[in-house]
A and B are shown apart, each in its own frame.
Chain A
Amino acid sequence: MLDVAALELRYGAIRAVRDVSLTVGEGELVALLGANGAGKSSTLRAIAGAHKPASGTIRLNGENVTNQSPERMVRNGVAMVPETRDVFPDLTVAENLRLGAFTRRSDEAGVDEDTQRMFRLFPILSERAEQAGGTLSGGEQQMLVIARALMSRPRLLLLDEPSLGLAPTIVGRIFDMIAELKSGGLTMLLVEQNAAKALAVADRAYVMRSGEIAAEGTAADIAAASDLKALYLGG
């Protein structure tokens, strides 16, 4: 479904990502692992259209989508759950969700139905529906951001560090959620620092180190690789 080839990303003179190639098949959950600053989030942002690649190609279902705008990528069926948990703090939970369905705004019945579905999936959001997004706890904000991304009915979901800064019990709930979405057939690319959790749910994994792919394989292979720690520590 997603095919990234020889991707290079720059921030000014700095090459943040070099020669990254990866694929995500239909229905697959692929994890992109690595230490802080390895270029995982940049890669994800480039796929979402929020960072223009210096070179390389991004293909979606065979179609070249390399330089498309973020809003176009959403219409292509790609939704992003950003690392920084960008809820819109002044917008209520319900408004955040409604905005997630911006590309299908004419389909009011469908949007209402999906909102109810999200409220069933994340009951806490339904209790907080009229509260401003900024007043939610970290875990609730993470649920809101995931729910908001799902409102566009994506075919590919990009998740950037969904466990970052959350309490262990909440992390567990978030990963249960991811597993549930996977069993529902959703294709996902998951960026994580929490390798153990990510490998437990993923089909395949890539490990990035200083902007390059350092290892790839099935989740089991990567989990079994003895040098995983070394990859993380940059050894």
Chain B
Amino acid sequence: MTAYIQFLIDVLSLGGAYALMALGLVIVYGILRLVNFAYGELIMVTGYTMFLLGGSALPWIVMAAIGVLMAILAGIATDYVAFRPVRAKSVTAVLITSFAFSTLLQNAALLFISPRPRNVPLPDIFSETVHFAGIVTPARNLITIATAVILLAVFAWVMKRTVLGIAMRAAATHFTMARMLGVPANLIISTAFAISGFLAGIVSLFWIGRIGSVVPGIGLEPLLVAFIATVIGGMRSLQGAVLGGFLLAFIDTGLNYSLPQELLKFRDAFTFSLVILILLWRPAGLMKGPASGQRT
């Protein structure tokens, strides 16, 4: 019994982080039909902001808030630098500019900070463990679960109940029609990038919290995870992204538990094999997005 609960906590905490990452990627993809390959660098930005603030006397929560804020700003900057100038022209151009922006941010970190890992301040609670009902788990995992639940609920509420949320869902279906109802294109796109940055920033706190340090390439794995989760879940569906995140975490954790020690280093090969099987079964992902798919 305790093993199951332990497993469940591991799946939910990893899945919560994956789901938030995937959501941040799909919110932009849904509207622009373009993958933001500079997404992982938003996670890096929060990490280095935390590192730079590390020496100050600020309480951790303030540093975290500034870190998330910087990720939001970096998200909006991605739109202005990589997307907006070439958005109307060609998909290929945006693909390349988003890669370029990603490389630019990484190289800036290499050049101005260091290629070596830099320590990031962590709150004391992140290193504590919780004992209950025979289970030992890092408090960080429980905080991750709670944060994911709260953020997913808030996100669902915003998309369902606010005019801006409804407008964002409409823009993901048929952008021109939404504009013909008076929904400003730039407002919607900037908002999507800001939400994307916010989610990346929050995830970054937990992602880096596990490692304790930040390197320039830190964003690669989260980008990959988010991308795979959205592909499994269905690129155009917000619920799909969340489902894909939890499913991927379930696969990863399940393999961690079940694979013998000598095979564990090949875990990703097993994960991707399962992902391929899922895609053979449902090539468009588990959840269908909104009906039409016009690009802007």
Contacts and interface: CB of A to CB of B under 8 A. Distances in A.
Interface stretch (A22-30, A74-82, A181-189, A193-201): A74-82
B170 interface: yes
Contacts of B170: 88, 91, 99
B176 A90 contact: no
B290 interface: yes
Interface string A140-177: 00000000110010000000000000000000000000
Given A88-B173, A91-B170, A95-B166, A102 B291 contact: no
B180 A50 contact: yes
Interface residues of B, number: 20
A103 B167 CA distance: 11
Contacts of A88: 169-170, 173-174, 177-178, 290
Contact of A90 (B173, B181, B182): B173
Contacts of A80: 180
B179 interface: yes
Nearest to A148: B181
Contacts of B167: 99, 102
Contacts of B259: none
Contact of B181 (A69, A89, A100, A134): A100
A98 interface: yes
B163 A71 contact: no
Nearest to B291: A89
Contacts of A99: 163, 166-167, 170, 178, 181, 183
B290 A89 contact: yes
A152 B181 contact: yes
A70 B179 contact: yes
Contacts of B181: 74, 79, 99-100, 102, 148-149, 152
B166 to A, nearest CB: 5
Contact of A74 (B174, B182, B290): B182
Contact of A69 (B177, B178, B185): B185
A91 B169 contact: yes
Contact of B290 (A48, A49, A71, A90): A90
B115 interface: no
Main secondary structure of the interface of B (DSSP, over half): helix
Contacts of B176: 50, 70
Contact of A102 (B163, B173, B185): B163
A90 B290 CA distance: 6
Contacts of B291: 89-90, 134
B117 interface: no
Contacts of A89: 173, 290-292
A221 interface: no
Most chain B beta-carbon neighbours within 10 Å: one of A50, A79, A86, A152: A86
A128 B179 CA distance: 25
Interface string A96-109: 00111011010000
B87 to A, nearest CB: 14
B180 A82 contact: yes
A106 to B, nearest CB: 9
Most chain A beta-carbon neighbours within 10 Å: one of B176, B182, B184, B185: B182
A88 to B, nearest CB: 5
Nearest to B170: A88
Nearest to A94: B166
Please name the 9 residue pairs, one residue from A and one from B, whose CB atoms are nearest each other, closest first: A74-B182, A103-B182, A70-B179, A86-B177, A71-B184, A105-B163, A88-B170, A70-B180, A102-B182
29 contacts: A49-B180, A50-B176, A50-B180, A69-B185, A70-B176, A70-B180, A70-B182, A71-B184, A74-B180, A82-B177, A82-B180, A86-B174, A88-B169, A89-B291, A89-B292, A90-B169, A90-B173, A91-B166, A91-B169, A98-B163, A99-B166, A99-B181, A100-B181, A102-B167, A102-B182, A103-B182, A105-B163, A134-B291, A152-B181
Given A71-B183, A99-B163, 10 more contacts: A50-B176, A71-B180, A82-B177, A88-B178, A89-B291, A90-B290, A91-B170, A91-B173, A99-B170, A102-B163
